[in-house]
Structure 1
Amino acid sequence: MEYVQERIATLHDLTGQPPDAPTDRAAVVVPMTDREFAGLAPERTLETLEAVEPARVIVPLRAPASRVGAFESWLSGFDLDLTLVWCNAPAVEGLLADYGIDGPTGKGRDVWLGMGLAAREEFVALHDADVKNYDASQVPRLLAPLGGFEFSKGYYARVENGRLYGRLFRLFYEPLVAALGERHSHELLEYLGAFRYALAGEMGFTSTVAREVRPEPVWGLETGLLGETFSIAGFEGTAQVDLGVHEHDHRAVSGATGLATMSEHVADALFRLLEDGGIEPDFDTLPERYREVAGRFVAGYAADAAFNGLAYDREAERAQVDSYAESIHPAGSDRRLPAWADTDLSPEDVASASERALDAL
């Protein structure tokens, strides 16, 4: 346990006591896909939210029509003011196409749809549904700083089954941002590097910030949101909060939904942010510089694992570094979604389209 303050205000769990927080003035966004249906972790999350009693819970759902009816029935069994948004419903997708918002679909777009509705409350909390040890302190911890800050970001340790996880952050994002910082002096890079777990999906926003961010539509969501909050809130308006130890689902490195594919999206979002900030990386040398910095991180994590009696496979971690290095190239086209404050599309219209699609089932 420590209480060191850093460049971003860091709020530690020193007593185990959840802070006072405006949960009754907040909406909680919990994105889900078909795989979350009646799962143990999502069930625990929703049951815990019943005790937290937020003003609203928004569940943006991406699932096939054949599964949505069962999903709606399952969600209705919780004692929550809960709104289900069927994100890939034909009526919703048709509405988005009418407004020219018909690009890639994924977690980022689902979260964006949920945040539009959530921002009708004063505060918004966002978190995933796959935390196996979720508890009632999480939402209050994300919301409590918003009395003095505009944005809060959760951080936690990923230690499970006797080993370290959080691989995409530890082995890709963290050393890549550090390698960039060695060549480029810029506040944006300092901000991106100041978070203890930058890829955590747990965040809190004032409704104003929730309406002003432009999320990436897929897996670069968390990285892209940090660039947005840097522009809107900056160091002074940002806090990070201790959420303890989290046990999450784990992905393979390879495959269409694996960590290597996710690294492509994270890198794309990161390099787009650098473009916005006028930072021009040398892509001819950056992959090798990233590997060098990542090697130092691997040595550090190996020592930390040994210190704590955890298993650690250096060769497997180095192989991941080599795989992630393939993602280091200039950003593709800008696919960010518009800020809700800047679009004529109404969150209420999205909700109505979703309701029509649910009724049609």
Structure 2
Amino acid sequence: MSDFYQNGIVTTFHNLTQRPVEALESDLLRFSRRRPMGLILPSLFSELEGPALSNIVDELAQVPYLSEIVIGLDRADRDQFLRAREFFSRLPQHHRILWNDGPRLSALDAELSALDLAPQEPGKGRNVWYCSGYVLASARTSAVALHDCDIVTYDRGMLARLLYPVANPQFNYEFCKGYYSRVADGKLNGRVARLMVTPLIRALKMVFGPLPYLEYLDSYRYPLSGEFSMRADVLDGIRIPSDWGLEIGVLSEVHRNHSTKRLCQVDIADAYDHKHQPVSQDDPSGGLNRMSLDIAKAMFRKLATLGVPIHSETFRTIKATYYRTALDLIEAYDNDARMNGLSLDRHSEEQAVELFTANILEAGASFLESPRDKPFIPSWNRVGAAIHDLKERMYEAVELDNQGQV
């Protein structure tokens, strides 16, 4: 059970009474008559064979209020796509799979590439972007949620709580971010959020002052969660990052487009665990190493768009301030873990901070050397202006794939 404190500049919905999921779903079923709801599931084919997704599908099969489930399927050949169709066939809701590597969607991707409008690299951002376009094309939903497919502690109450703030017609929220504590197997997890994002935000506030954007980011209790919901029309105007900066990038985009009074966060789980990324200390292309680098670049780019002057000397100051702030937080996390009977490896925590410190400098150098980088995929609003019937043709391609014509 969480506290009721409202800190920061976005509204926080707490889990104060452990309200039964059936009561939440009864409300959502009523809301769905005025505000139909959908769900986006970005998935790798390998996740169909993992420990989490089968349970997620079983839980979703019991959800009574969803009008549509859109599954983005990456890294799948024809036989694997057919297996995925069978795997998801037990969902009673209307559902469609985007076979992103199939010939029809690949042809549309090539068409977009010719106009420099396609995602520039594979990954979750690309998957989510195409799923968003399909949701807009299908027009079945006016509120849509998104969550990952590797949540081993999943239950359908997570989705109910995630959608409730944007689905309730009497509420005025357009975007909602899920949060939860990262505790599993007697350990305190969530290293990138705890040891990189939070101390970096606070270091940036010390260096540049309490900018509204930094105050906004610091209001989120778990800014890197992969679970969020929004009104469907929000999807049309946001630009989605294609790299590991997806979650921070989405927060930045909704802050750019919407009043903070229309943004909120909600406690969706007492227990949450998913696939853990390795640190990848010696591999800058993967794991927490790559993730921290992309997140830092995303934050520096956003500050630049806000008119914050950033120079090479600035990054050295940011690095030193971050490092001291992160080390102080390790002490706080260690004490918190001990009081709650949890384990925390201070040596590995400090190693992670040293890696993140180096990546902050590298991200700064990359930012200064490549000012013309285009990290965001264009918004669907822009795509529609360039190719008027693209969404409609994508909808038809997905229908043909799902009806068996593959």
TM, length-normalised to structure 1 = 0.94
The answer as to 2:120 corresponding to 1:118 is no
Moved more, 160-169 or 113-122: 113-122
Report the Cα offset of residue 356 of structure 1: 5.0
CA-to-partner distance for each residue in 1:325-353, whole Å, 9 max, x for gaps? 22223335122112112222533322333
Report the Cα offset of residue 232 of structure 1: 1.7
CA contact (8 A) 1:113 1:347 kept: no
Counterpart of 1:339 in structure 2 is 379
Counterpart of 1:2 in structure 2 is 3
- Aligned 1:61-76 pairs, distance under 5 A: 61-65=73-77, 66-76=79-89
1:155 to 149, 166, 179: 179
CA-to-partner distance for each residue in 1:135-171, whole Å, 9 max, x for gaps? 1212221221113211100000110111011111111
Counterpart of 2:216 in structure 1 is 191
RMSD of the alignment, in Å? 1.8
- Aligned 1:203-214 pairs, distance under 5 A: 203-214=228-239
Counterpart of 1:101 in structure 2 is 117
Counterpart of 1:145 in structure 2 is 165
CA contact (8 A) 1:272 1:334 kept: no
Matched residue of 1:236: which SS?
Answer: helix
The answer as to 2:277 corresponding to 1:260 is no
Residue 276 of structure 2 aligns with an amino acid whose one-letter code is H
Matched residue of 2:359: which SS?
Answer: coil
Counterpart of 1:222 in structure 2 is 247
Counterpart of 1:30 in structure 2 is 41
The answer as to 2:299 corresponding to 1:273 is no
CA contact (8 A) 1:50 1:79 kept: yes
1:23/1:219 Cα in 2 relative to 1: closer, same or farther (>3 Å)? farther
Residue 76 of structure 1 aligns with an amino acid whose one-letter code is S
Gaps of 5+ in 2: none
Counterpart of 2:256 in structure 1 is 231
CA contact (8 A) 1:29 1:58 kept: yes
CA contact (8 A) 1:95 1:353 kept: no
CA contact (8 A) 2:162 2:178 kept: yes
What is the alpha-carbon distance in structure 2 between the residues aligned to residue 311 and residue 23 of structure 1? 43
The answer as to 2:206 corresponding to 1:178 is no
Report the Cα offset of residue 318 of structure 1: 0.7
What is the alpha-carbon distance in structure 1 between the residues aligned to residue 358 and residue 405 of structure 2? 45
2:395 to 331, 342, 351: 351
What is the alpha-carbon distance in structure 1 between the residues aligned to residue 322 and residue 382 of structure 2? 37
Matched residue of 1:40: which SS?
Answer: coil
The answer as to 2:176 corresponding to 1:166 is no
Query: What percent of counterpart residues are identical?
Result: 30
Report the Cα offset of residue 134 of structure 1: 1.1
Counterpart of 2:347 in structure 1 is 315
CA contact (8 A) 1:38 1:74 kept: no
CA contact (8 A) 2:207 2:317 kept: no
Moved more, 261-270 or 21-30: 21-30
What is the alpha-carbon distance in structure 1 between the residues aligned to residue 91 and residue 212 of structure 2? 44
Residue 193 of structure 2 aligns with an amino acid whose one-letter code is F
What is the alpha-carbon distance in structure 1 between the residues aligned to residue 3 and residue 212 of structure 2? 26
CA contact (8 A) 1:23 1:52 kept: no
Moved more, 200-209 or 36-45: 36-45
What is the alpha-carbon distance in structure 2 between the residues aligned to residue 12 and residue 348 of structure 1? 40
CA-to-partner distance for each residue in 1:232-270, whole Å, 9 max, x for gaps? 223211110001221111111004431111112212222
CA contact (8 A) 1:30 1:59 kept: yes
Report the Cα offset of residue 16 of structure 1: 1.2
The answer as to 2:275 corresponding to 1:249 is yes
What is the alpha-carbon distance in structure 1 between the residues aligned to residue 227 and residue 307 of structure 2? 29
What is the alpha-carbon distance in structure 1 between the residues aligned to residue 401 and residue 142 of structure 2? 28
CA contact (8 A) 1:90 1:357 kept: no
Counterpart of 1:303 in structure 2 is 335
Residue 351 of structure 2 aligns with an amino acid whose one-letter code is A
Matched residue of 2:316: which SS?
Answer: coil
The answer as to 2:95 corresponding to 1:82 is yes
Matched residue of 1:327: which SS?
Answer: helix
The answer as to 2:152 corresponding to 1:132 is yes
What is the alpha-carbon distance in structure 1 between the residues aligned to residue 392 and residue 227 of structure 2? 25
Report the Cα offset of residue 47 of structure 1: 1.5
How many positions carry a matched residue from both structures?
361
When Rg is computed on C-alpha atoms for both structures, the one with the higher figure is: 2
What is the alpha-carbon distance in structure 1 between the residues aligned to residue 298 and residue 405 of structure 2? 37
What is the alpha-carbon distance in structure 1 between the residues aligned to residue 318 and residue 48 of structure 2? 42
What is the alpha-carbon distance in structure 2 between the residues aligned to residue 357 and residue 325 of structure 1? 46
